[in-house]
Structure 1
């Protein structure tokens, strides 16, 4: 599947929330780059926060 995110493309080795190693099932695409998290909960928390900041920056709160 070509649209699947790959851990090899991840820009970070540790989760920014926990400091733990990233997991292949917890990747996200952000601004065209693959970013990794230790679990899906941390990934989801990041996606929610990033969406809120992006909307605020664009004036779409």
Structure 2
């Protein structure tokens, strides 16, 4: 991407270049992406905890 076709992101550990169309759609901040990633990780932990709980319940019976 050339400098005329992109803008720089804000709010991340690194600065990324994104296209102007994404910038017009308010895609300049990475906070939503990090929030989605955190929710994804928490979802995995909940599923694993449920699996461990079910296995513990089945082994007790």
Q: What TM-score does the superposition give when structure 2 sets the normalisation length?
A: 0.35
Q: What TM-score does the superposition give when structure 1 sets the normalisation length?
A: 0.35
Q: Which has the higher helix share?
A: 2
